[in-house]
Amino acid sequence: MRGWMIAIGLAATVTLLSALAQAQDSVPVTVVMPQERGLAEQLHLSGSLTALHNANLSSRTAGLVAELLVDAGAVVTKNQPLLQLDTALASHELTQRRAALNAAEVLQTERQRLVTEAEQLTAQQLFPQTELALRRAALSEAQAMYQQAQASFLQQQEVLARHTLTAPFAGVIAGRSTDVGEWLALGTPVLQLVSLTPLLLDIRVPQEYYSTLSSLRRIEVRADVLPAQTLSARLLATVPVGDSSARSFLARLEVDDKQQGLLPGTSATATLYFEREDSNVLVVPPDALLRHPDGNFSLFAIQDDKAYRHNVTVGRSSEQGVEILSGLPRQQPVVVRGNEILRDGQQVRIVGSASGLGE
């Protein structure tokens, strides 16, 4: 009886030691479940940032520069005065035409009074019809003279307003080509005004991507003046005319620069992400792949708590992961940490799950 109990104790001890040895042989790993999706393709293109508005401003009338209200580097708002011409003669002319308008108004009022009086007397048969007709004709003449004087006054008022050059849009003064005391001819450029927002990025896109712009998922921009900051952008327009020498076409992007930290004329790089809709492939994180000396790849998939090596064929890679075109069974987690020391068929212990696939 005692020997039988000793035998049972020895068997239990052996079983425990075997379990402990098996637990020590199992390798702790971190796994991730491959995802079946259309992998986005990346396209990196460089270009130059340009302003939406870049204008050489000129005076709308000839005259002598009386005052410069801004200089190069000044940030201006829309309709802000920038330059003032001498208005002495234009102001005197406006005063004369205002007086002529007042005189025409007085004449019109007086002749209207005479017509009203004649109409009342004619109704009482105390005034001849011919005289009433003459007064009405005189009133029509006065009304025409008033309209002419009013148009002349408004014209001179506009001439006076054109002696002040205002900003057609908000931006920064990039250059000045005149000074106080200089005579300006009509149409002479005097100031260069460049808008700061929105900024556009012109890039040359390879011709084979023209038909795939409809699957464009998103655009990211990195400017050389802000290398650590990633900005979003949207496709504003494409020019459907290819460059025969470069086999490309022009695409214009509008960069979302809310902090206005970019500068027109500087360089930037755009990353275009295209969604692949033609096929769904298995996508795994780059850490799951093991590279062989011959250039091929393999990875470990878990089945029944054991790791099995699979030689795989990889496709494109992006921020979302790496395409596995063949060789990987579906619905099996793959090892992303701890796979460097694994052997085919080795017992493993899953200690965590990683979310290593980008969205």
89 has a pLDDT exceeding 70: yes
Question: Domain 42-53+196-275 belongs to what architecture?
Answer: Beta Barrel (2.40)
Residue 278: pLDDT over 70:
no
How far apart are alpha carbons 66 and 290 in whole angstroms? 76
Q: What is the mean pLDDT of residues 208-214?
A: 80
Six token digits for residue 218:
């998103």
pLDDT over 80 at 359, yes or no: no
> Given a cut of 80, is residue 67 above it in pLDDT?
yes
Alpha helices in the chain (DSSP H): 2-25, 88-123, 129-161
Q: Are 132 and 115 in contact (CB under 8 A)?
A: yes
The domain segmentation of the chain, as residue ranges, is 27-37+279-353, 42-53+196-275, 61-83+164-195, 87-162
**Single-letter amino acid code for the residue at 31:** V
- Confidence at residue 335, expressed as pLDDT on a 0 to 100 scale: 93
Q: Which fold has domain 61-83+164-195?
A: OB fold (Dihydrolipoamide Acetyltransferase, E2P) (2.40.50)
Burial of 88 (0-12, 13-18, 19+ CB in 10 A): exposed
- Res. 18: pLDDT tops 80: no
The partner residues of 191 in beta bridges, in order of sequence, read: 57, 176
What is the mean pLDDT of the segment spanning 273-288? 76
**pLDDT score, position 356:** 55
Give the whole-angstrom CA distance, residue 171 versus residue 321.
Answer: 43
CATH number of 27-37+279-353: 1.20.1600.10, 3.40.80.10, 3.30.1310.10, 2.40.420.20? Answer: 2.40.420.20
Percent of residues, the chain, with pLDDT higher than 70: 87
Judged by average pLDDT, the poorest of 55-69, 135-149, 197-211, 232-246 is 232-246
Most confident of 63-72, 237-246, 337-346: 63-72
Report pLDDT for 196.
86
Taking every pair of Cα atoms in the chain, the longest distance, rounded to a whole number of angstroms, is 157
- Mean pLDDT, the chain, rounded, equals 86
Distance from the first to the final alpha carbon of the chain: 67
φ and ψ at residue 282, rounded to 5 degrees: -80, 135
Asked whether residue 3 carries a pLDDT value surpassing 60, the answer given is: no
- Which position has the higher pLDDT, 318 or 61? 61
Rg (CA), the chain: 42
3-state secondary structure string across 309-343: EEEEEEEEEECCEEEEEECCCCCCCEEEECHHHCC
How many other CB atoms are found less than 10 A from the CB of residue 169?
15
2 pLDDT higher than 80: no
pLDDT in tens, 99-120: 999 999 999 999 999 999 999 9
Token pair listed for 230: 């990633």
The CATH number that domain 87-162 falls under is 1.10.287
Mean pLDDT of 17-44: 71
